[in-house]
Chain A
Amino acid sequence: MTRIAAVGDIHVGPDSVERTAAGLRHVHERADVLLLAGDLTRCGERAEAELVAATLRDVEVPVVAVLGNHDHHADSQGQVTRVLADAGVRVLDGSSTIVDIEGTRLGIAGVKGFGGGFAGASGSAFGEAAMKAFMAETQCEAAALHDALVDLAPRADHRVALLHYSPVPETLRGERLEIYPFLGSYLLAEAIDTAGADLVLHGHAHAGSERGMTPGGIRVRNVAQPVIQHAYRVYEMRVVAPDTAAVTAQA
């Protein structure tokens, strides 16, 4: 069994380092890997990244992360990534990694993602240059996620898509409808459904809901800490043997 601990939007600052570290101290007893769904800092400065690294120092399982919009605010995302990488965190940005968990290969494809809105109410790359650039950012993120998931397909037993922005509106329930276009995009879900995955994790929507599903039937979980109200959430997955799957399908 593969046990995945996940949390996003921990927003570590000088006043919350100890609290956050304490919550993660025993994660190795409950999970095999810790996935961080972005917004690890408050404004993306190097000093904050060092606090995040200190927070994760005692975590005894592999840590995989994507950055969020807060981690980009100071335009120092490269430094943030390096500080976290030096602390052993695998930071994904249109890339993937595999964690071997007692012979089970957990593949994780990660992007920050971006906004744009959802089917029937999405922005288009049309008109002013600023609008085209806005949607191009989402299109690039979606394409990178698709390619990273496809790359994992022949090599992983389970595939997880790790994002900051949401691919579906269901996990935004609780947020104001007017800000949905700033919280995610259907382009991300389309990329995931086309490439295939077993689970999608994201953050960003503090007032959203935990559970949703892509139009293609892949589970989506919003693990923003204000949503899950815990240090992290644990998701368990088993590799289903072909014989078992056949029996299940006939039942």
Chain B
Amino acid sequence: MTGTDPAQEPAEYVISHIQEALAQDSRTTELGIDVVLSGGRAVLTGSVASAAHRDAIGQVATEVARGYQVVNDVSVVACDEAGGAEDLT
């Protein structure tokens, strides 16, 4: 049996390669991004600390997505002042 054609790589491997790139690439070092492949698209979700970091995640994913169109649905985490306090007494 011959090896897998890189152009027809199983989805599991594509997802793992994208997530591994996001973890290892110094532009992102991000572990918490979910990747779903659907209809030729690689949809990224999760939340990060800034818009620039979100954009870097889209860029790195695009570089390794092997023909999938990257849809960057990663959000920027809200960090406005705290709301009400929780009384633990």
Residues of A within 8 A of B (CB): 3, 5, 10-13, 15-16, 19-20, 23, 26-27, 30, 42-43, 70, 73, 198-199, 206-207, 219, 221, 225-226, 229-238, 240
Contacts and interface: CB of A to CB of B under 8 A. Distances in A.
A174 B48 CA distance: 16
Nearest to A234: B85
Given A13-B50, A15-B53, A43-B26, A233 B79 contact: no
B53 A226 contact: no
Given A43-B26, A207-B32, A237-B88, A231 B80 contact: yes
Contacts of B50: 13, 15-16, 19
A207 B77 CA distance: 12
Residue of B50, B78, B82, B85 ringed by the most chain A CB atoms within 10 A: B82
Contacts of B31: 70
Contacts of A229: 77-78
Given A13-B49, A226-B77, A235 B88 contact: yes
B24 to A, nearest CB: 10
Contacts of A43: 26, 29
A56 to B, nearest CB: 14
B77 A233 contact: no
Contact of B89 (A30, A73, A232, A240): A240
Interface string B22-35: 00001001111010
A19 B89 CA distance: 32
Interface residues of B, number: 27
Given A43-B29, A233-B86, A236-B89, A23 B46 contact: no
Contacts of B86: 221, 233-236
A23 to B, nearest CB: 4
A27 B81 CA distance: 8
13 contacts: A11-B48, A11-B49, A11-B53, A19-B49, A23-B79, A70-B31, A206-B32, A206-B46, A231-B79, A234-B85, A235-B86, A236-B88, A240-B89
Interface in B35-89: 46-53, 77-89
B87 A236 contact: yes
Those 6 A-B pairs whose CB atoms lie nearest each other, nearest first: A234-B85, A15-B52, A16-B50, A15-B50, A206-B32, A43-B29
A12 B50 CA distance: 9
Nearest to A14: B52
Residue of A15, A27, A231, A237 ringed by the most chain B CB atoms within 10 A: A15
A232 B49 contact: no
Contacts of A226: 32, 46-47, 77
A11 B30 CA distance: 10
A23 B83 CA distance: 12
Contacts of B81: 23, 26, 30, 230-231
A219 B46 contact: no
